[in-house]
Chains A and B, each alone.
Chain A
Amino acid sequence: MAWLLRGVNLPLSAAAAVLILWSLVSSDSYSLRLLTTAGVFAIAVLGYQFIFGYAGALSLAQGTFFGIGAYTTGIIGSQLGWGFEATFALSLAFPVLLAILVAAPVLRLDSHYFALATLGIGQVVLLIAINWQSVTGGANGIPGVPGISVFAIDVPRGWPLLMFVWGLAILAATIAWLAIRGITGHAFALMRSDPLAAMAVGIDIRRLRFKAFLISALLAGAAGALHVHTNRVISPDALEFHIMVAILAMTVVGGRTHIAGAFVGALLLTHLAEWFRFLEHYYLLAYGILLLLMVVAAPWGLVGTAERLRERLLPERAPPPPQPSPIRLAAKPVSGLEIRGLKKRFGGVRALDGIDLEVQPGEILGVFGPNGCGKTTLINIVTGLEAADEGEIRWAGRPIDGVTTDASARAGITRTFQKTRLLEDLTALDNVAVGRWEGGKGPRVGVARQQAMGLLNELDATDAAMIPARNLPQGVRRRVEIARALAARPSLLLLDEPATGLNEGERQALAETIERIAQQGLTLVVVDHDFAFLSEFAHRMVCLDHGTIVAAGTLEEVQHHPAVKSVFLGGPSSPKGARELND
């Protein structure tokens, strides 16, 4: 009962009930056929939601995968007379194989290149289908594709086929639900809205996108196979761009990250095409207008819009925060961070000009210096966000240069950012829980949330737990981000200007918190331009200027170092003199 009252479950369930009743009452063969088609497209849309919705990559190959599934069943079913069990399996396999084949060049590309490459693949497949006449039947295609017959039981058109298709659609929806529930869904959300932040907590974007691409191909193949069983004819029409457009429009109209949206979009647009039948083939005009309107006015789709409305009009009470549970950080390594001769230049600017640095395990190092001295570049290189031009970096005895950001996060190096990068719609608790993802091998969502709660307690952000990040003040956001970085169980944590934007009291409190979390054996590198803030907790200090270390040592040593004075107070000898001192 409680489930019904949550979110938009009540109106969705009511709509589903009305739909079932209506199809029972008006069960002429025409409307049954329409509903069957809607079920077929719902499966394709469920798949498309993986790559376009969850992974956030605009693939234009979903129609192609659909067409390959259709052609596989069409050709093998009509020419070789194989049964549904074999043809359906192959219709799933071929699109997935093509997806694997093209994923290597395509998946690492940015959105517009990915779109073009997937479009190009579609054009090649369409050309083959039209020109390989002996196999595909050319432009006319192949008629006489048999209906479905599973284990010698025929599934004729009408009610049986409808039930069969919708049964598979519900199965696909269940698979989708299992695949994205809990932390994985949040990991996808973080990856599509902020890839950098996702990598920083160890999310392997390419792998996640690869999986999403394969699932999208799999479900598109299934939909294509069912489509050809419904139509009993296979022609290049199944590979044309309008199928892709239909799937895209259904996904956008229903909601790209809502499983229910796949059904809403498929049902609505399949029927819309019929209502605009008087436009003959130009019903696509209606699709185009609807697509444009939805992207502009309600990009989260109908289901997403309904959720938002419900949130605004009838806000639900936030559930109580979970019981906190402790989380053990990674063990302290035997040897710490070693940096030798690190150099990085951007065009003519030497951001880092030969840095040698050592941080002992369990030590807190404060790095300070004026703006543009290379502090952030140093963190970016250690965390694999940027590649060094020269030099080597080791952590725990192993070289880490050339290691990607997400791999280094999984190896125990995490960071925070100068400008906090949180998922604004998610609660503080879930923002932290994403850090427990651990490449999909992390704990279940319940445990992850309890551990996240434990971390929020530790960072004095207990009250923020159930509040969406967008409503949190800057000081609390910092703490949530540090908690997320800790959730990935690092042994080395790098904080990039954590005190920026905080007032004096918040700074003091944050300094105390940093000192406390370091006591668990964590190695910490904290970068800031505020010497007083760093001196609250740092064991050792390093002063950077113009990409070189001008002073290093204990607080007192650095504080009274002439180079430091000249860097901050200015003077005749800065910065050239500072560099001479270093030499």
Chain B
Amino acid sequence: MLFIQLALNGLALGAAYALVALGFVLILNATRAVNFAQGDLVVTGGFIGAALASQLPVPGFVLLPFVMAAMAGVGLCVSALAYWPIRSRPPVSVFITTIAVGIILQNGLNGVFGPEPRTAPALLPGANFEILGLAISRQSLAIICVAALLIAGQLYLTNHTQVGRAMRATAQDRDMAAALGIPVARMVALTFAAAAALAGVAGLLLANQFFVTPTDGTNFIIKAYIAVVIGGWGRIGGALAGAMLIALFETLVSAWIDYTVATGLLYAAVLTILFVRPSGIFGEVEGRRA
């Protein structure tokens, strides 16, 4: 019984990690750039939710569209400042500018809200319910459901719609995509806006379940990054599986041994995977050439 309870908790945490990883993969697939600020965008979403809630005492699902809209705006700013001006430089440049964006967000939030942990309202008001002696939190269920919806939506978007095709074309060869009449600038802006909106959702959900502090972003981005590497660079399904795997691992090992040991083992496992299978457990979307 304890195991099932733990697994459920792990599943909720995994869904949260998956949401972070999802935005990361979205930008990766559209621009081939690593967005190191994705974790800080999540925290920003959480703080926006907390700030709104302190003004309007309404349940989370009412706040959700506002948080998403605000975050989409933040995403547009990030793309305009940290990606678009350096789009033709090596991808490592974007890595560095997004590190900078992350620092700005982290310390900006710290300056405005202070370092104390904040909480956002639950998506749906009400108490937890019990099934077969298992305490199931509504928020955990909400996280899992929302994550599942968004993941399905993103898979559908990238694989089955014209917009998704245009996005993938933009990632593969921006000049060629432009030559084919794809509005590349708009695609990139859209991608960043969507990734930031996703981060907003993740932030709102996480801020209720686990609290957020301004410096949490680094932890989220590392977990998302690991999920994406384990799952195969650029694979949505792989990132999802990776996120679940590390969250379950973390929850179970911390329950039985210790959180520090869990984290240490996790990094050791990642380094081993990188060493043995540099393209991830499920392989990369597309091989890199020598």
Contact = CB atoms under 8 A, between A and B. Distances in A.
Q: Are A and B interaction partners?
A: yes
Interface of A: 56, 58, 102, 104-106, 108-113, 115-117, 119-121, 123-124, 127-128, 130-131, 195-196, 241, 245, 248, 252, 279, 281-282, 284-285, 287-289, 291-292, 295-296, 299, 385-386, 405
Contacts of A111: 90-92, 95
Nearest to B34: A112
Nearest to B101: A292
Contact of A288 (B93, B95, B107): B107
B271 interface: yes
Contact of A116 (B89, B108, B225, B290): B225
B110 A282 contact: yes
> Lowest 3 A-B CB distances belong to which pairs?
A288-B103, A105-B275, A292-B100
Interface string B67-107: 00000000000000110011001111101110111111011
B241 interface: no
Given A102-B271, A131-B260, A289-B104, A296 B97 contact: yes
B144 to A, nearest CB: 27
Which of A108, A109, A119, A120 has the largest count of B CB atoms less than 10 A from its CB? A120
Contacts of A299: 86, 89, 93
Given A123-B263, A127-B263, A295-B96, A106 B274 contact: yes
Interface in B237-268: 260, 263-264, 267-268
Given A121-B267, A299-B86, 9 more contacts: A117-B270, A119-B225, A127-B260, A245-B99, A285-B108, A285-B111, A288-B101, A288-B107, A291-B99
A407 to B, nearest CB: 14
B186 interface: no
Contacts of A385: 290
B278 A113 contact: yes
A113 B92 CA distance: 11
15 contacts: A102-B271, A112-B91, A112-B92, A112-B95, A113-B229, A119-B222, A120-B267, A120-B271, A121-B267, A248-B99, A285-B108, A287-B103, A295-B97, A299-B93, A386-B290
A295 B107 contact: no
Which of A102, A108, A113, A386 has the largest count of B CB atoms less than 10 A from its CB? A113
A111 B275 CA distance: 14
B199 to A, nearest CB: 18
Nearest to A57: B92
Contacts of B288: 110
Nearest to B85: A296
Given A292-B82, A296-B86, A115 B274 contact: no
A285 B103 contact: yes
B271 A291 contact: no
Contacts of A112: 34, 91-92, 95, 233
Interface of B: 34, 81-82, 85-86, 89-93, 95-97, 99-104, 106-108, 110-111, 218, 222, 225-226, 229, 233, 260, 263-264, 267-268, 270-272, 274-275, 278, 288, 290
A299 B222 CA distance: 26
B201 to A, nearest CB: 24
State the main secondary structure of chain A at its contact with B: helix
A130 B92 CA distance: 31
Contacts of B290: 195-196, 385-386, 405
A124 B267 contact: yes
B271 A288 contact: no
B226 A289 contact: no
Contacts of B101: 288, 292
Contacts of A289: 100, 104
A116 B230 CA distance: 12
B85 A291 contact: no
A296 B95 contact: no
Contacts of A115: 34, 92, 95
Given A116-B229, A117-B271, A123-B222, A295 B93 contact: yes
B107 A282 contact: yes
A58 B95 contact: yes
Given A58-B95, A241-B218, A292-B101, A116 B263 contact: no
A525 B67 CA distance: 63
A201 to B, nearest CB: 15
A335 to B, nearest CB: 28
Contacts of A113: 229, 274, 278
Nearest to B102: A288
Contacts of B99: 245, 248, 291
Contacts of B82: 292, 296
Contact of A292 (B81, B92, B110): B81
Which of B81, B82, B97, B270 has the largest count of A CB atoms less than 10 A from its CB? B97
